[in-house]
Chains A and B, each alone.
Chain A
Amino acid sequence: MEEVKLMKGNEAIAEAAIRCGCDGYFGYPITPQSEVLETLMVLEPWKKTGMVVLQAESETASINMVYGGAGCGKRVMTSSSSPGISLMQEGLSYIAGAELPCVVVNVTRGGPGLGTIQPSQSDYFQTVKGGGHGDYKLITLAPASVQEMADHLCLAFDLAFKYRNPVMVLSDGLIGQMMEKVQLPDYQPRLTNEQIREKYPWATLGKKGRDKQNVITSLELVSEEMEKVNNRLQQKYREVEANEVRYETFLCDDADYLLVAFGSSARICQKSVELLREEGIKVGLFRPITLYPYPVSQIHEYAKQVKGMLSVEMNAGQMVEDVRLAVNGLVPVEFYGRYGGMIPTPEEIVKALKEKLMA
């Protein structure tokens, strides 16, 4: 294993991409994630692993370059922040429709519109409920540390290829900009074209002796056929929901109340739990790591044990809807959030929990 280093979340994304055998990165700079492209340019991976790093002319171009690379069975990715991710939605729907693997990193900033460059979690709905058109799903990972930025990037590629589906790493400006200790993964070689042909027979790398050419498309004008495509997608999503739920709990076993939070909010909530426990109040933290598939049954189980839950988010109340669906009325589910680039403090959350659930 590599030595422990100190770096920003954005830098960890770039380092991890090279190490997990990424073939190509296509992106366009935007605060607060510009260090991803900057770091890749400084590291010059094309000299070491042959990985392509390209600054595209726009986010729209970036995602379509990713679409092309993914069609060839390559491990390709892009990253951006909220307004840039909005521009990519059409491409993401096409990639999901064509059932191709790719990784997209969103270092979220406050919106709507151009908004602010400060951290936010207001792209939850866009990521897990759609964003682009049609009945598709993005497998979504929510890192809560710089270490997880690196770990999730590699996991994202594995999941993308396992399910032939785009994977979103939903981070934010806080995790992107902060520096922490990180242990980077070991180098993993890029696949050769021969290996790709063998491993991914759907890849469009030339016919090479096969009878029929591979076709990558999301278009099917015969509705009966398009319904079959959708059935296949839905079947895949059920499989993802059955197998890929990931979450973490902190002091939940004896908890009377639960904070539910993802990504950087979860880090802040952990401190709130520590403060509340000092006062003798039994509070735990439930952190969904996958936002899709969502840990529905796990949250439901805790609802049988606790008196109430508080969803804490850096938005005006998005994930709280999924917590309520999971709890299904068993106990009250309240919400506390800051938005527009504001970050809640641990003390604010303590106060909110007392007011909303213990009053």
Chain B
Amino acid sequence: MKEEIIIAGFGGQGVLSMGKILAYSGLMQGKEVSWMPSYGPEQRGGTANVTVILSDEKISSPILQEYDTAIILNQPSLDKFEPRIKKGGTLLYDGHGFVREPKRKDINIYRIDALETSIALNMAKAFNMFILGGLLKIRPIVEIENVLLGLKKSLPERHHHLLAQNETALRKGIEILIPIHVL
């Protein structure tokens, strides 16, 4: 098994930390993992992205041209990464703030209204966990139990009181996933 994932959005949306939780979950599941962030000026408000690879075998390149799965959280990232999803791959995007919808017909496309839901439930800070929940529904690459362990590992102890809220978000994310175009 090998899953090559790009997560992309605005700085501040939790892109890098979502990648980190996913990488830690892979570690808990005994996978080889790599997490390669864009570490440039993006962190200060532009677009941010992270490449996460989970694999049963040793990972060669942490930098990729094409991805199995793309998690897209804003328009510029959709424009940049939609063409770079492998044929038959998966696109998961948050429905908020897009002026142009995904247009490819040779990939699986899912929408998740995580921003809307997280605000409605007064859980805006767990936004990225809703998305991660959605991802696991379509691509069950790691067990939920290992995600929760990974979350605990990647969160500093002072934030451990938020673990329960994050778990709720993760499980809710699984419910609110909307298939748009499934092959």
Which residues of A line the B interface, CB within 8 A? 4, 6, 31-32, 116-118, 173-174, 177-181, 264, 267-268, 270-272, 274, 343, 345-348
> Is there an interface contact between A32 and B39, defined as CB atoms closer than 8 Å?
yes
Q: Does B76 contact A (CB under 8 A)?
A: no
Q: Which of A6, A180, A181, A271 contacts B61 (CB 8 A)?
A: A271
Tell me which residues across on chain A come within 8 A of B61, comparing CB atoms.
267-268, 270-272, 346
Q: Is B20 an interface residue (CB 8 A)?
A: yes
Contact of B65 among A118, A267, A274, A347 (CB under 8 A): A347
Contact assessment for A178 and B35 in the assembled complex, using a CB-CB cutoff below 8 Å: yes
| A181 close to B27 (CB less than 8 A) | yes
Give every chain B residue within 8 A of A264 (Cβ-Cβ). Answer: 62
- Expressed in whole angstroms, the Cα–Cα distance for A116 and B41 within the complex equals 10
Mark B40-68 against chain A: 1 for CB-CB distance below 8 A, else 0.
10000000000000000001111111100
Contacts A174-B63, A346-B65: A179 and B20 contacting too (C-beta < 8 A)?
Answer: yes
- Would you give the shortest CB distance from B78 to chain A, in whole angstroms? 20
Partner of B62, one of A31, A267, A347: A267
The complex places the Cα of A268 from the Cα of B53 at a distance, in Å, of: 14
- Contact status of A181 and B32, CB under 8 A, knowing A6-B27, A32-B39, A118-B40: yes
Q: How far is the CB of B136 from chain A (nearest CB, A)?
A: 19
Q: Which B positions have Cβ atoms within 8 angstroms of A?
A: 20, 23-24, 27, 32-37, 39-40, 59-66, 153
* Interface-central residue, B32, B34, B64, B153, by most chain A CB under 10 Å: B34
The winner among B36, B39, B66 for most chain A CB atoms within 10 A is B39
List the 5 closest pairs (A to B, CB-CB), nearest first.
Answer: A271-B61, A270-B60, A179-B35, A345-B65, A271-B60
Cross-chain contact A4 with B27 (CB below 8 angstroms): yes
Q: Give the most central of B37, B63, B65: most A CB within 10 Å.
A: B63
> What is the chain A residue whose CB lies nearest that of B34?
A180
With contacts A181-B27, A346-B61 known, what are 9 further pairs, Cβ within 8 A?
A6-B153, A117-B39, A177-B37, A178-B34, A179-B23, A180-B35, A268-B63, A270-B60, A270-B61
Min CB distance, A194 to chain B, in Å? 40
A267→B33 CA distance, assembly (Å):
14
Across the interface, do B64 and A6 meet the contact criterion of CB distance under 8 Å?
no
Q: Quick one: closest A residue to B150, CB to CB?
A: A6
Is the CB–CB distance between B60 and A177 below 8 Å? no
Q: A268-B61, A346-B65 are in contact. Are A181 and B33 (CB under 8 A)?
A: yes
User: Which residues of A lie under 8 Å from residue B36 when comparing CB positions?
Assistant: 174, 177-179
Q: Given A117-B39, A173-B39, A179-B23, answer yes or no on A6-B33 (Cβ-Cβ < 8 Å).
A: yes
Q: How far is the CA of A51 from the CA of B59 in the complex (A)?
A: 34
* Residues from chain A with Cβ under 8 Å of B35 in the complex: 6, 178-180
Q: Are A274 and B60 in contact (CB under 8 A)?
A: yes
Q: Chain B: which residue is nearest A8 at the CB level?
A: B35
Q: Can you name the residue of chain A whose Cβ is closest to the Cβ of B19?
A: A179
- Give the nearest-CB partner of A117 in chain B: B40
Which residues of A sit under 8 angstroms from B39, Cβ to Cβ?
31-32, 117, 173, 177
- Pair A6/B40 contact, Cβ less than 8 Å: no
A118 to B35, CA, bound (A): 16
- A274 CA to B59 CA in the complex, in Å? 11
Shortest distance between the CB of A182 and any CB in chain B (Å): 11
What are 14 A-B interface contacts by the 8 Å CB criterion? A31-B39, A117-B39, A117-B40, A174-B36, A177-B37, A178-B62, A179-B20, A179-B34, A179-B36, A180-B33, A181-B27, A271-B60, A345-B63, A346-B60
Q: Tell me whether B24 and A6 are in contact (CB under 8 A).
A: yes
Q: Of B34, B63, B153, which is within 8 A of A343 by CB? A: B63
Q: How far is the CB of A266 from chain B (nearest CB, A)?
A: 9
